[in-house]
Amino acid sequence: MNATTTATPGAPVDTPVDTHCPYCSLQCGMRLRPTGDTAGLPVEIVERPRFPVNKGALCGKGHNAAAVLAAGVRLTTPLVRDEKGGPLREAGWDEALDRAAAAFTTAGVRYGRDAVGVFGGGGLTNEKAYLLGKFARVALRTSRIDYNGRFCMSSAAAAHKAAFGLDRGLPFPLADVARTGCVLLVGSNLADTMPPAVRYLREMQEGGGKLIVVDPRRTRTADLADLHLAAAPGTDLALALGLLHLVIAGGHVDEEFVASRTTGYGAAREAAMAHWPERVEALTGVPVAQLRRAVELFVGAGSGMVLTARGPEQQSKGVDTVGAWINLCLATGRAGRPLSGYGCLTGQGNGQGGREHGQKADQLPGYRSITDPEARQHVAAVWGVDAEDLPGPGVSAYELLDTLGTEDGVRALFLMGSNPVVSAPRARHVTERLCALDALVVCDVVLSETAALADVVLPSAQWAEETGTMTNLEGRVILRQAAIRPPGQVRTDLHIMHELAARLGREKGFPYDPEEVFAELREASAGGQADYSGISYERIRAEDGVFWPCPATGEDHAARPAMSAPDAPRPSIPHPGTPRLFLDAFATPDGRARFADVSHRPAAEEPDADYPLYLTTGRVLAQYQSGAQTRRTPALNGAAPGPFVELHPRLADRIGVRDGELVVVTSRRGRASAPAKVTSTIRPDTVFMPFHWAGEGRANTLTNPALDPTSRMPEFKVCAVRVEKTS
- Print the domain residue range for 263: 154-344
Residue 668, in any domain of the structure: yes
Residue 455, in any domain of the structure: yes
Looking at residue 561, its amino acid is P
Q: Which H or E run includes 33?
A: strand 29-34
Q: Is the confidence at residue 572, as pLDDT, over 90?
A: no
Residue 313, in any domain of the structure: yes
Q: Is the confidence at residue 570, as pLDDT, over 80?
A: no
Q: Are residues 145 and 161 in the same domain?
A: no
Residue 571, in any domain of the structure: no
DSSP β-ladder status, 29-34 and 17-20? antiparallel
Mean pLDDT to the nearest integer, 700-715: 97
Q: Are residues 331 and 197 in the same domain?
A: yes
Q: Which H or E run includes 299?
A: helix 288-300
What is the band of 346 on the pLDDT scale with cuts at 50, 70, 90? confident
Q: Is the confidence at residue 2, as pLDDT, over 50?
A: no
Residue 518, in any domain of the structure: no
Q: Are residues 167 and 51 in the same domain?
A: no
User: Where among 488, 510, 532 does a domain terminate?
Assistant: 510
What is the tens place of the pLDDT at every residue in 461-511?
999 999 999 999 999 999 999 999 999 899 999 999 999 999 999 989 999
Cite the beta strand spans of 298-370 per DSSP E: 305-308, 341-344, 363-364, 368-369
Mean pLDDT to the nearest integer, 394-404: 97
Q: Is the confidence at residue 568, as pLDDT, over 50?
A: no
Q: Are residues 244 and 269 in the same domain?
A: yes
What is the band of 554 on the pLDDT scale with cuts at 50, 70, 90? low
What is the band of 272 on the pLDDT scale with cuts at 50, 70, 90? very high
Q: Are residues 129 and 30 in the same domain?
A: yes
Burial of 175 (0-12, 13-18, 19+ CB in 10 A): middle
Given this model, what pLDDT does residue 582 score?
97
Given this model, what pLDDT does residue 37 score?
79
CATH code of the domain in which 29 resides: 3.40.50.740
Q: Are residues 127 and 224 in the same domain?
A: no
Q: Is the confidence at residue 276, as pLDDT, over 80?
A: yes
Q: Are residues 146 and 168 in the same domain?
A: no
Q: Which residue has the higher pLDDT, 596 or 12?
A: 596
Q: Are residues 143 and 163 in the same domain?
A: no
Q: Is the confidence at residue 524, as pLDDT, over 50?
A: yes
- Residue 667 neighbours by CB under 8 Å, 6+ apart: 611, 615, 701, 702, 703, 704, 719, 720, 721
User: Where among 510, 529, 550 does a domain terminate?
Assistant: 510
Q: How many independent structural domains does the chain possess?
A: 3
Q: What is the dihedral of CA 330, 335, 337, 338, to 10 degrees?
A: 140
What is the band of 153 on the pLDDT scale with cuts at 50, 70, 90? confident
Q: Are residues 253 and 376 in the same domain?
A: no
High-pLDDT (> 70) share of the chain, %: 95
Q: At 605, phi and psi to the nearest 5?
A: -140, 115
CATH code of the domain in which 676 resides: 2.40.40.20
C-alpha 203, offset from chain centre:
26
Mean pLDDT to the nearest integer, 599-613: 97
CATH code of the domain in which 266 resides: 3.40.228.10
**Alpha carbons 689 and 667: distance in angstroms, whole number:** 13
Q: Are residues 480 and 450 in the same domain?
A: yes
Q: Is the confidence at residue 424, as pLDDT, over 60?
A: yes
Given this model, what pLDDT does residue 39 score?
67
What is the tens place of the pLDDT at every residue in 160-177?
999 999 999 999 999 999
Q: Is the confidence at residue 156, as pLDDT, over 50?
A: yes
What is the band of 71 on the pLDDT scale with cuts at 50, 70, 90? confident
Residue 602, in any domain of the structure: no
Q: Are residues 266 and 412 in the same domain?
A: no
Residue 148: CB atoms within 10 A of its CB come to: 27
Q: Is the confidence at residue 14, as pLDDT, over 90?
A: no
Given this model, what pLDDT does residue 6 score?
31
Mean pLDDT to the nearest integer, 229-254: 98
User: Where among 449, 482, 510 does a domain terminate?
Assistant: 510
Q: Is the confidence at residue 456, as pLDDT, over 70?
A: yes
Q: Are residues 457 and 374 in the same domain?
A: yes
What is the band of 559 on the pLDDT scale with cuts at 50, 70, 90? very low
Residue 324, in any domain of the structure: yes
Residue 242, in any domain of the structure: yes
